[in-house]
A and B are shown apart, each in its own frame.
Chain A
Amino acid sequence: MSEFIQLLLSGLSSGSIYALAAVGFTLLWQASQTINFAQGEFVMIPAFFVLALSVKLGFPVWLAMPLAIILSVLILGALFKRLIVEPMHKHGTIPLVIATIALGILLKEMVKEFYSPLGQPFPSLFPQDVFSIGGAAISIPDIANFTIAMGTIVALQLFLSRTRTGRSMQATAQNPDVAEILGVDIKRMVMYTFLINGALAAIASILITPVYLAKFSNGEVLGLVAFIAAIVGGFNQIRGALVGGLLLGVVDNFSAAYFSSEYRQALPMILLIVIILVRPQGLLGTSEGRTV
């Protein structure tokens, strides 16, 4: 039982970080029909911003981290929208998807080429202590990561549901034409969504990189997991992405412990296929009618 609790908490911890990336994925889709296949690299890159600022430029880590979040908001949010999404969007969804795949490869190769192909140690925000509850070993980083990731998602949900800007952003996601006619500045609302995605990716990066080390290839798994989590939970619901992320984190941990670590990476794909066959709108998603 203690092992079960241990695995569950550890799975929820990594799942909550997957959820951050998946929520960003979902937000971009809702606001601008952008499927960002560079999302994994968006989670990989901010760790290198932290390292570049702290190791190369000598900033203290406590300052490098918020600066990295700001850089991510500007580069992975605003610049991504202006330089990639806006020019490609007019050509349709598929060219934009291909552009984001290319961007992901570019970011990965740039880090490999200009920083290092080797995994870099990354400072953790929390002590690596472990304490015991009922025989289950609980690590402080697990609890802290879960608390910060969930706190971020709850804060985002409150922002969207309890502020005027959040209401305008929701309206833009649900019906942009009508939102604009009602006076909503939809271009600005879509930009806010990209900025938020940049921040979510940076927070996920800072939380997860101490576990994996900072490596150019980190985005491969993270991007796939974020995509699957968003689909499994429901592509058009933030809470769906949250549930999808948590579920994948827990399934990943349990499958490695109780099933087979060799099939660990296959299980999310199996889960994805089952969900698409049985409930294509995702666990919490709603069906969307499309006119073709």
Chain B
Amino acid sequence: MTDTVLSVRGISKSFGGIQAVRDVSFDVQKGEVLGLIGPNGSGKSTLFNCVLGQLRPDSGQVTINDHKVANMRASHLNKLGVGRTFQQLSVFPQMSVLDNIILAGQEHKGSMASRLFGPSDAGLTRAADQMIAFFRLEHLRDEMAGSLSYGQQKLVDAAMAFMAGPSLVLLDEPAGGVNLTMLGSLKDRLETYNREHGTTFVVIEHNMEFVMSLCTRIIVLAEGEIIAEGAPEEIRANQQVIDAYLGG
């Protein structure tokens, strides 16, 4: 086992005549927080979906924790130690916050018999309560997730992504639509989790302030290709990146 959690090699993907991603390669090391940014239509989401096995690339290969992910079902990817958050809200609205978070961890535990006849919390209530406390959601523990504010649901979504103890978490626009107060809280929690558990993050984000302050390394995509890669301060100063964003 190497320290490389995610390896992307020569990924290309086109839709009809449009080349969405062109020969993209990069590695992500254990504990790293990688930002994937780029203007609209740069291929970020396509690349993200190829990494998650939801799109089959035309060529290239994605390896997570030394396993090839091509054609892998989402449920298997989860068991491989991959968590993710969503651009759209992804909580289960008619379940309590506690049930949402237990659900996110329960599929890794027990036999089929224990799923049917074992304790309904799969022994996870304590761990779920710890996760709820970590994301400071104690006052919402028994509320229906669908009744929470957008920002609160984003925090529940993040808590769910971490519940199964993943080694890699892909965050799809975690800051989208979240107010400033909640955003500070989300960033603080993500940084703390990364520091305490050494979990690797890959973040797609439009909010530059958020991504620059959270990530340790940033890859910039434009027209399906990597045009820059480096630390946040290097990216800020990169003329090619500035041109890509300003349309220069």
Contact = CB atoms under 8 A, between A and B. Distances in A.
Contacts of B110: 164
Interface in B72-129: 73-75, 77-79, 84, 86, 90, 92-95, 99, 102-104, 106-108, 110, 114-118, 120, 122
Given A165-B115, A181-B74, A171 B103 contact: yes
Interface residues of A, number: 21
Interface in A160-202: 162-168, 170-171, 174-175, 177-186
Contact of A174 (B77, B93, B102): B93
Interface string A194-214: 000000000000000000000
Given A164-B106, A182-B160, 7 more contacts: A162-B120, A163-B117, A163-B120, A174-B94, A181-B77, A182-B75, A182-B107
Contacts of A186: 75
Interface of A: 162-168, 170-171, 174-175, 177-186
A163 B118 CA distance: 7
A180 B74 contact: yes
Nearest to B122: A164
A172 to B, nearest CB: 10
Nearest to B76: A183
B171 interface: no
A155 B6 CA distance: 45
Interface residues of B, number: 30
Contacts of B122: 164
9 contacts: A164-B120, A166-B120, A167-B102, A175-B92, A179-B103, A181-B78, A182-B104, A183-B79, A185-B75
Nearest to B79: A183
A180 to B, nearest CB: 5
Contacts of A181: 74-75, 77-78, 84
B107 A184 contact: yes
Contact of B86 (A165, A167, A178, A185): A178
Candidate in B73, B84, B108 with the most chain A CB atoms within 10 angstroms = B73
Given A182-B107, A183-B164, A170 B94 contact: yes
Contact of A175 (B90, B106, B115): B90
Contacts of B114: 164
Given A168-B107, A183-B164, A174 B78 contact: no
Interface of B: 73-75, 77-79, 84, 86, 90, 92-95, 99, 102-104, 106-108, 110, 114-118, 120, 122, 160, 164
Contact of B95 (A171, A177, A180, A183): A171
Contacts of B75: 180-186
A166 B79 CA distance: 20
B116 A163 contact: yes
Given A171-B95, A171-B103, A178-B90, A164 B115 contact: yes
A4 B114 CA distance: 48
B174 to A, nearest CB: 15
B241 to A, nearest CB: 31
A269 B104 CA distance: 43
Contact of B120 (A167, A178, A179): A167
B212 to A, nearest CB: 28
Nearest to A175: B92
Nearest to A183: B107
A180 B73 contact: yes
B67 to A, nearest CB: 15
Contacts of B115: 163-165, 168
Contacts of A166: 120
Given A165-B115, A184-B107, A170 B92 contact: yes
Contacts of A165: 115-116
Contacts of B164: 182-183
Contacts of B103: 167-168, 171, 179, 182, 184
